[in-house]
Amino acid sequence: MRAYERLIKYVKVYTESSPDAGATPSTPCQWDLARLLVDELKELGLENPGVDEHCIVTAWLPASPGCESAPALGLLAHMDTAPAFSGKNVNPIVHENYDGGDIVLPKEGRVIKAADFPFLAGMCGKTIITADGSTLLGADDKAGVAEIMTLCERVMAENLPHGRLCIAFTPDEEIGEGPDHFDVKGFGAKYAYTVDGGAAGSIEYENFNAASAVVDITGVSVHPGSAKGIMENALLIAQEFNALLPPNAIPAKTEGYQGFFHLDRLEGAAAQARMEYIVRDHDKGEFTVKKALLARAAARIEADHPTVQVTVTVKDSYYNMKEQLAACMHLVENAQRAAAQAGVTPTVEPIRGGTDGARLSYMGLPCPNLGTGGYNFHGPQELACVEEMDAVVDMLANLVTLYSK
């Protein structure tokens, strides 16, 4: 079975995670895909396939004869889809022999415009998979799941030389909780890759340092008819707070290594308001500066508005895995070789986000990230390229062979 066929099957299983659940997995629907994958791993004949109480699926493939001394290699992907856009009732559509033009989706008037996404020019003549416009597709990261499953089938069918392979599929990556209960020692891999990126051949070993920040504002609410000199509208104070942050340090105006403040949610009323930010920067020093700027903004607001209270709660989420991978650059170099052998141009680039691998690297499992052939994640214009997914499987097979030596 080809990887895209598995993708079509997996995206129909609803697995959207939730940031407000306070449990692992954050949504019970993630168990459905977990159990399906365990059944498939059993059918493929992997060793000890199962799912633990935290919905983490694991299985192992023993080293082939003569490769027992090779380092154990881990391959990971995540099962959940982002709560940013609906992943329920996904209807995948296969667009064969793409002509390079706009892709009209049948629902809600949505169009994937070639002018907006220059990468589409390189997909002429290829096969593209989208959803129908009413949901995201779920290639993030069910494409990675499908590619790892297809790789396992191929390794066994073709008797590819390999060291011990350690397979894992995690829940709740999209809400930053994928590795919360991951047993690195029990997993048994010396090195690993997450398969959770974009274009085939992309290799990522640098990611944002990341934090969440909650700003709670307590204003002064009185009757508006007698409010002069007394009222402090928390919603207006929230606007003042945001204006104290650098106006160009937002996602829409940054790229590459540039960090940002992202105001993800603002809610409240005149008496009380809450702002939720995510804070990102590749540079550890600049990351620290950004967090300090939030505290200074709060102090400035309270100085200007003595009857207002502003509380800033910052929680670090993950750090740049580059620091942990400096001594393991063979992981990047071998990925480049594997991509080239698969006929794909390797591209080493920083992630403007994070992966399970970022946290796993700090937990003792060096773990860069590889592309899946998926694009436009977290929205209705998400798509995957069938031929790129095939190339990713080829790349993974080459990696397995490289580490068998």
The torsion angle over the Cα atoms of residues 84, 26, 151 and 390, rounded to 10 degrees, is: -10
Say what the pLDDT of residue 22 is.
Answer: 86
Instruction: Tell me, yes or no, whether 241 and 355 share the same domain.
Output: no
Find the CATH number of the domain harbouring 304: 3.30.70.360
Residue type, 250: I
- Number of independent structural domains in the chain: 2
Instruction: Tell me, yes or no, whether 328 and 187 share the same domain.
Output: yes
Q: How many CB atoms lie within 10 A of CB 353?
A: 18
Q: How many CB atoms lie within 10 A of CB 326?
A: 10
Instruction: Tell me, yes or no, whether 399 and 253 share the same domain.
Output: no
- CA atoms of 19 and 232, how far apart (whole Å): 31
Which residues are paired to 220 by β-bridges? 232
Closest CA to 140 of 15, 26, 254: 15
Q: Are strands 93-95 and 202-204 parallel, antiparallel or unpaired?
A: unpaired
User: Quick check: 168 and 116 in contact, CB under 8 A?
Assistant: no
User: Quick check: 40 and 63 in contact, CB under 8 A?
Assistant: no
Q: Which tens digits make up the pLDDT trace of 204-241? A: 999 999 999 999 999 999 999 999 999 999 999 999 99
Say what the pLDDT of residue 299 is.
Answer: 98
Closest CA to 206 of 316, 396, 369, 397: 369
Mean pLDDT on 280-288: 96
Say what the pLDDT of residue 353 is.
Answer: 85
> How buried is 94 (Cβ within 10 angstroms: 0-12 exposed, 13-18 middle, 19+ buried)?
exposed
Between 147-151, 316-320, 352-356, 392-396, the lowest mean confidence (pLDDT) is in 352-356
Q: In what order do the strands lie in the sheet with 128-130?
A: 93-95, 128-130, 383-385, 374-375
| Percent of the chain topping pLDDT 90 | 97
- CA atoms of 222 and 234, how far apart (whole Å): 12
Instruction: Tell me, yes or no, whether 294 and 326 share the same domain.
Output: no
Instruction: Tell me, yes or no, whether 267 and 226 share the same domain.
Output: yes
Instruction: Tell me, yes or no, whether 66 and 171 share the same domain.
Output: yes
Closest CA to 235 of 213, 266, 212, 278: 266
Domain with 240, as residue range(s), is: 209-318
Instruction: Tell me, yes or no, whether 218 and 271 share the same domain.
Output: yes
User: Active-site residues: which are they?
Assistant: 80, 173
Say what the pLDDT of residue 75 is.
Answer: 98
Q: Are strands 309-318 and 165-170 parallel, antiparallel or unpaired?
A: unpaired
What's the sign of the alpha-carbon dihedral 118, 119, 123, 129? Answer: negative
Examine the fold and report which residue of 318, 350, 379 is the final residue of a domain before the chain moves on. Answer: 318
Examine the fold and report which residue of 292, 318, 344 is the final residue of a domain before the chain moves on. Answer: 318
Say what the pLDDT of residue 116 is.
Answer: 96
- CA atoms of 76 and 68, how far apart (whole Å): 21
Find the CATH number of the domain harbouring 341: 3.40.630.10
Instruction: Tell me, yes or no, whether 197 and 163 share the same domain.
Output: yes
Tokens of 238: 């929230």
Residue 21 has pLDDT above 90, yes or no: no
Mean pLDDT on 297-317: 97
Render the burial of 121-141: b for 16+ CB within 10 Å, e for the rest.
Answer: eebeebbbbbbbbbbbbbbbb
Examine the fold and report which residue of 270, 289, 318 is the final residue of a domain before the chain moves on. Answer: 318
pLDDT band, very low/low/confident/very high, at 354 (cuts 50, 70, 90):
confident
Q: Which tens digits make up the pLDDT trace of 81-123? A: 999 999 999 999 999 999 999 999 999 999 999 999 999 999 9
User: Quick check: 98 and 73 in contact, CB under 8 A?
Assistant: no
Instruction: Tell me, yes or no, whether 399 and 364 share the same domain.
Output: yes
Instruction: Tell me, yes or no, whether 242 and 297 share the same domain.
Output: yes
Instruction: Tell me, yes or no, whether 234 and 218 share the same domain.
Output: yes
Instruction: Tell me, yes or no, whether 236 and 258 share the same domain.
Output: yes
Q: Which tens digits make up the pLDDT trace of 30-74? A: 999 999 999 999 999 999 999 999 999 999 999 999 999 999 999
